Amino acid sequence: MFFCSISGEPPQDPVISQKSGHVYERRLILKYITENSTDPITGEKLEESDLITVKANPKTAAPRPTSATSIPALLHTLQNEWDALMLETFSLKQQYNSVRQELSYALYAQDAATRVVARLMRERDAAREALASVSATMGIAPAPSGDDVEMSEPGQETVALPEEAAKQIEETRETLSSKRRKRKPPPGYVNPADVKTFTAKHTIPSLHSTSPSGITALAVSRSEPSQFLTGGNDKVVQLYDRSTDKVLASLKGHTKKVMAVAFRDACSESEPTLLLSASADKIAKVWAHDSASGEYIPRATIRTHRGELSGLAVHPTKTLVALASADRTYSLHDLTTGNLVYRSPVGDEPFASLGVHPDGTLVAVGTPTSTIKVFDIRSGAIAASLSPPESTPFTVKTLSFSENGYHMLAPDSLSSVAVWDLRKPKIAHSIALGDNFKVNKVSYDYSAQLLGVAGSEGVRIFAHKTWEELVHFEEAGDVADLVFGEEGKEIWGASGREVRIWGLPA
């Protein structure tokens, strides 16, 4: 064993001077040489090139510090470890006693509930016997006996699409589809070559609470491009203004994490901008700005579904909102009142995602068995059932229609995405993303020239038709949601408690 000639301690990275033969800690001797250019012991001129690294066997254990070599020091160390062990044992005993008390209370509550149920059943049987006795006395034939009938629970009944809503949807389809066939990207819209130059522009940190942390949903306003909406694991919906870096509203009302958020931009003075949110608590909310208080308040609360909500989309009519749920149904609601307009029949599988066709007549839902079901809203019938060939079953948690209405983007495995040609229907192209990339969100841009994928290894943007990967932003890490900004000149991503923005260089 040898010691550093400067500190007197065993060196972690030892070097030896060729001139004097003294041993030093590398960082200490380099600092001394930088300041003095001499050997600290002999005073001779010394340079870094005069130092030789001393290599030790990597399996050799590092020497103990001098403070742990004496018997009193060892006893002190053992005492500290013993104290820590005793404290941990005491903590575990407290937790054990707490769990026993909770279990005891739960058993007591269950026993009480069982007694109440038994008493109610006796009262029911007594009432039935009394009714039968009265019926026999009055000469009325008793109703045929049978099993108890389970009443249907509220919100499970199928609601047919009203004629007025069907007419509005059809008029919207005719208007939008006629324009869409002739539409070209607006002047000044970003092109694939521009996307290759995108760089990080802005990061908004520390959004939402730290416990539980994480942004789960993101939406950007088209009428006010600097404003965006986020939903989080902390059950809160936030409206944020990027231009001022201020939270405009923090909307509380959900009791579980927010699954999806959306803007309904203002249609007129009488139809202002609305904020929409859907949560795992089975509830969707429509928020509107109250001029009297200057705050956003719930305009409508939708409690139609019995399962957690998994998808939300504003219908192209701008007067309806579509919801998908794990209760195996999807629904349409009036944005003014929140009233139920249409509810689909109960399907075979829970719905894990939702997308509305740009023409407004089709709605697509993802399922836990890799299948995407496309429904015609007007008739309620299944228009198509899309399943990737030879795929290991996975949950389709995200999908996106192209703006021209011809294609749909969705995962065809946990680590790849497929572009479905809805005119065939079949997969036009599948993009493999690598085994380590797990897809969280897919999205088409407004021009249908670009498609974006957010996942466990950042954000990736591809060109439609050529399928060339234009850019890959890895610095964001795991990205939960992705949105294309105004004119496609920005890409927004939600990662952890941050919202990151990429765009054209300044």
What value does the mean pLDDT of the chain take? 88
Say yes or no: do domains 1-59 and 163-503 share a fold.
no
**DSSP code at position 244:** T
- What does the pLDDT average to over 54-76? 74
- The CATH T-level fold of domain 1-59 is Herpes Virus-1 (3.30.40)
Are 439 and 433 in contact by the 8 Å Cβ rule? The answer is: yes
28 to each of 23, 31, 36, 43, how far by Cα in Å?
11, 5, 12, 16
CA separation for the pair 115, 110 (Å, rounded)? 9
Whether this model's pTM surpasses 0.85: no
| pLDDT tens, residue by residue, 435-453 | 999 999 999 998 889 999 9
Q: Rounded to whole angstroms, what are the CA distances from 34 to 5, 38, 39, 40?
A: 17, 9, 11, 12
3-state secondary structure of 342: strand
| Alpha-helical regions (H) of 185-320 | 192-195
224 pLDDT more than 70: yes
The Cα–Cα gap between 390 and 455 comes to 23
pLDDT band at 60 (very low <50, low <70, confident <90, very high): low
Domain boundary assignment for the chain? 1-59, 79-122, 163-503
Q: Which residues contact 155 (CB under 8 A, 6 or more apart)?
A: 303, 304, 305, 306
Q: Provide the edge-to-edge strand list for the sheet that holds 295-302.
A: 258-264, 274-279, 284-290, 295-302
> Residue 455 gets which letter from DSSP?
E
pLDDT in tens, 171-202: 888 888 877 666 677 888 999 999 999 999 99
Tell me: domain 163-503, CATH 2.130.10.10, correct? yes
Q: Which pLDDT score is estimated for 135?
A: 64
pLDDT in tens, 317-375: 999 999 999 999 999 999 988 999 999 999 999 999 999 999 999 999 999 999 999 99
pLDDT-based confidence at residue 59 (cuts at 50, 70, 90): low
pLDDT tens-digit profile of 276-309? 999 999 999 999 998 888 889 999 999 999 999 9
